[in-house]
C-alpha cells in the first residue's frame, strides 16, 4: 500500500511535500505495542506527510519526521492550511487518546488562519454525520472544506455553503476541487472523476502493482506451505453473478449474503439456531464475481481477510428489533448492515423503519404479536459482534454473556464456504428471495 501511494505523484524515491494523508481505522489493524516497529518502518517508507492532529500517541510509540499536527502549503499568492481528524472507533495500544472533532477544529482553524492561511482544509476519516456536524460548528472554527473518507463510496454534501467531499474506495473515483480566490472570497467547484476504463492508466503504476501482487501472492502461498500459484486454484463455479460490491452488500440483501447466511444456519441447525446475523463488513471482497466464472482461493482470502469464527447466542425476542434498528441505521454502505437467514423483514429507507418481521415458519400474526411460549431467539453471528475486545460494530445490545454451548461454535465462514464450493457438482446458483424487502426498489407487501 505504501509503495503504491508513493507512486501517486508519478515518481518513487522522492518525497512529495504536497501529498497529505490522515489515519483511518484500518491503519490500526496492527494495534498492539509489539507492532510499533512495523508501523515506524512503514512511516519511514512513506514519501508523503501523515497528519495526526487529533491523536495523542503514547510515549515512545510511533515516531517519525513524516508526521505533522498540521501544515500550510503555499500556492502562488495563497496559503492553504490543513489539519486532520481520525475516528476513534479503533483504539490501538500505542495511542493514549483521541481529541474530539469540535475541540480539534476549535484549536486548528483559528491557529492556521492566524498563521496566514487563506483557505483551511479538514482532512477527515469519520462518518458523514460527524463531518456534517463539523460543518455546523460556529463560523470562526469551521473549516472551508472537508475532504473525507470512511464510507467507501462517493458523497458530496454542502453545509452552510461549504463542501464535504468523499470519493469512492479502491480508487474507483477521485474528487477534484477547483478553488478560485477573489479578494477575500473564494469559490469551490468540485468534480467527481470516475477512474474507469475510459480513464488512462499510468503504465509505471500498473507495472508496480502487478509486480507487488505477484510477490504478495507468492509469499502468501509460501506462508501456507503451498505452491506459488495456490491462490489461483478454482474451488467452484458460479452460475449467476455473485453480488459482493460494497455499496450493494452493505445496503441490500444480496445473493452472496443469502448463500453464506443459509449455509451457516444449516450448519447450526443441530443447536436449534433460529436466525443468522452476518455483518456485511466481514465480507470484504468489494467486487462482484461474474456469472459463469470460477471462484478461486484468492476470492475467499480477500472475501474473509479477518477471522470469521461463529458463535451461537440466545436473547429475548425484543432484542432482535433493536438489532435490526441498528442494522439499518446510517444507511450509507456501512459494515454493520446485516446479511440474514431464518427470518424476513421490510426495510423502508425513507422512513428509516423496519416492519413485518417474521421468523421462518412463524405464525401469521407476526413477530411483534407472537403469543406462543417461545420468548427467546437463538442467533448465529461472528464473534466480533459480541467480543469484549471489540466495539461490537455498534451492536451494544449483544454481548459474550449471551453465548450458548454448541459444538459448531468456532466454525469459520471461509472454511465453510470453501467446503460448500468443493462439494458442488454443479455451478453455485445463488439468488435473492426478498427476505429483506426494500421499499425503494422492491414490491413489498
| pLDDT tens for the 445 residues of the chain, in order | 899 999 998 888 999 999 999 999 999 989 999 999 999 999 999 999 999 999 999 999 999 999 999 999 999 999 999 999 999 988 999 999 999 999 999 999 999 999 999 999 999 999 999 999 999 999 999 999 999 999 888 999 999 999 999 999 888 899 999 999 987 789 999 999 999 989 999 999 999 999 999 999 999 999 888 877 899 999 999 999 999 998 899 999 999 999 999 999 999 999 999 999 999 999 999 899 999 999 999 999 999 998 889 999 999 999 999 999 999 998 878 899 999 999 999 999 999 999 999 998 775 445 544 445 689 999 999 999 999 988 899 999 999 999 999 999 999 999 999 999 999 999 999 999 999 999 999 999 7
- Cβ atoms of 283 and 260 closer than 8 Å: yes
Nearest residue to 277 via CA among 318, 329, 320, 235: 320
Number of H helices, E strands in the chain: 10, 22
Where in the chain are the domains? 2-194, 205-232, 235-438
Q: In degrees rounded to 5, what are phi and psi of residue 346?
A: -105, 130
* Residue 405: all three cell numbers together: 454451548
Distance (Å, whole) CA 130 – CA 89 = 13
Distance (Å, whole) CA 156 – CA 149 = 11
- Cβ atoms of 445 and 439 closer than 8 Å: no
- Cβ atoms of 107 and 145 closer than 8 Å: no
Distance (Å, whole) CA 366 – CA 157 = 39
pLDDT of residue 361: 75
Rounded to 5°, the CA angle 371-376-382 comes to 145
What region does 116 belong to: left with phi over 0, alpha with psi -120 to 50, or beta? left
Burial (CB count <10 Å: 0-12, 13-18, 19+), residue 373? exposed
Cα–Cα distances (Å) from 104 to 55, 91, 115, 147, in that order, read 10, 18, 16, 16
State the pairing for strand pair 119-125/78-86.
parallel
Q: In degrees rounded to 5, what are phi and psi of residue 339?
A: -95, 140
- Cβ atoms of 163 and 190 closer than 8 Å: yes
pLDDT of residue 153: 86
Strand order in the sheet with 49-51: 20-22, 49-51, 67-68
Burial (CB count <10 Å: 0-12, 13-18, 19+), residue 73? middle
Distance (Å, whole) CA 37 – CA 220 = 21
**Sign (positive/negative) of CA torsion 65, 124, 197, 255?**
positive
Assigned architecture for domain 235-438: Alpha-Beta Complex (3.90)
pTM beyond 0.85, yes or no: no
Q: Could you please state the CATH topology (level 3) that the domain comprising 2-194 is classified under.
A: Purple Acid Phosphatase; chain A, domain 2 (3.60.21)
- Cβ atoms of 326 and 395 closer than 8 Å: yes
| Residue 315 neighbours by CB under 8 Å, 6+ apart | 376, 377, 379, 397, 398, 402
Distance (Å, whole) CA 232 – CA 294 = 10
Q: In degrees rounded to 5, what are phi and psi of residue 166?
A: -135, 125
Amino acid at each position: 500500500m505504501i509503495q503504491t501511494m508513493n507512486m501517486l505523484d508519478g515518481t518513487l524515491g522522492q518525497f512529495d511535500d504536497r501529498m497529505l494523508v490522515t489515519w483511518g481505522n484500518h491503519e490500526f489493524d496492527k494495534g498492539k505495542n509489539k507492532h510499533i516497529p512495523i508501523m515506524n518502518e512503514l512511516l519511514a517508507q512513506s514519501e508523503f506527510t501523515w497528519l495526526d492532529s487529533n491523536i495523542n500517541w503514547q510515549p515512545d510509540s510511533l515516531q517519525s519526521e513524516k508526521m505533522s499536527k498540521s501544515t500550510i502549503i503555499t500556492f502562488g499568492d495563497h496559503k492553504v492550511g490543513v489539519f486532520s481528524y481520525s475516528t476513534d472507533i479503533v483504539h490501538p495500544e500505542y495511542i493514549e487518546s483521541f481529541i474530539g472533532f469540535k475541540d480539534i477544529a476549535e484549536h486548528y482553524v483559528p491557529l492556521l488562519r492566524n498563521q496566514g492561511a487563506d483557505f483551511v482544509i479538514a482532512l477527515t476519516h469519520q462518518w458523514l454525520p460527524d463531518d456534517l456536524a463539523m460543518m455546523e460548528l460556529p463560523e470562526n472554527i469551521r473549516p472551508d472544506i472537508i475532504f473525507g473518507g470512511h464510507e467507501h463510496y462517493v458523497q458530496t454534501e454542502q453545509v452552510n455553503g461549504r463542501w464535504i467531499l468523499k470519493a469512492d474506495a479502491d480508487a474507483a473515483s477521485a474528487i477534484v476541487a477547483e478553488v478560485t480566490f477573489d479578494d477575500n472570497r473564494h469559490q469551490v467547484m468540485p468534480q467527481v472523476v470516475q477512474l474507469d476504463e475510459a480513464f488512462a492508466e499510468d503504465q509505471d503504476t500498473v507495472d508496480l502493482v502487478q509486480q507487488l501482487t505477484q510477490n504478495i501472492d507468492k509469499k502468501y502461498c509460501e506462508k501456507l506451505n503451498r505452491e506459488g500459484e495456490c491462490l489461483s486454484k478454482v474451488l467452484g463455479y458460479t452460475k449467476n453473478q455473485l453480488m459482493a460490491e460494497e455499496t450493494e452488500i452493505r445496503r441490500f440483501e444480496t445473493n452472496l449474503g443469502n448463500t453464506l447466511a443459509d449455509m451457516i444456519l444449516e450448519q447450526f441447525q443441530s443447536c436449534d439456531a433460529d436466525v443468522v446475523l452476518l455483518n456485511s463488513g466481514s465480507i470484504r471482497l468489494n467486487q462482484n464475481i461474474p456469472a459463469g466464472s470460477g471462484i478461486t482461493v484468492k476470492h475467499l482470502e480477500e472475501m474473509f481477510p479477518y477471522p470469521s469464527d461463529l458463535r451461537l447466542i440466545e436473547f429475548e425476542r425484543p432484542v432482535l428489533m433493536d438489532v435490526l434498528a441498528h442494522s439499518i441505521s446510517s444507511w450509507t454502505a456501512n459494515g454493520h448492515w446485516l446479511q440474514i437467514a431464518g427470518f424476513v423483514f421490510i426495510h423502508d429507507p425513507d422512513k428509516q423503519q423496519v416492519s413485518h418481521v417474521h421468523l421462518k415458519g412463524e405464525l401469521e400474526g407476526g413477530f411483534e404479536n407472537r403469543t406462543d411460549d417461545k420468548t427467546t431467539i437463538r442467533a448465529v453471528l461472528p464473534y466480533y459482534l459480541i467480543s469484549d475486545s471489540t466495539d461490537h460494530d455498534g451492536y451494544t445490545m449483544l454481548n459474550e454473556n449471551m453465548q450458548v454451548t454448541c459444538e459448531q461454535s468456532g466454525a469459520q465462514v471461509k472454511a465453510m464456504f470453501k467446503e460448500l464450493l468443493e462439494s458442488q457438482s454443479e455451478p453455485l446458483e445463488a439468488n435473492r428471495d426478498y427476505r429483506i424487502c426494500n421499499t425503494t426498489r422492491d414490491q413489498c407487501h
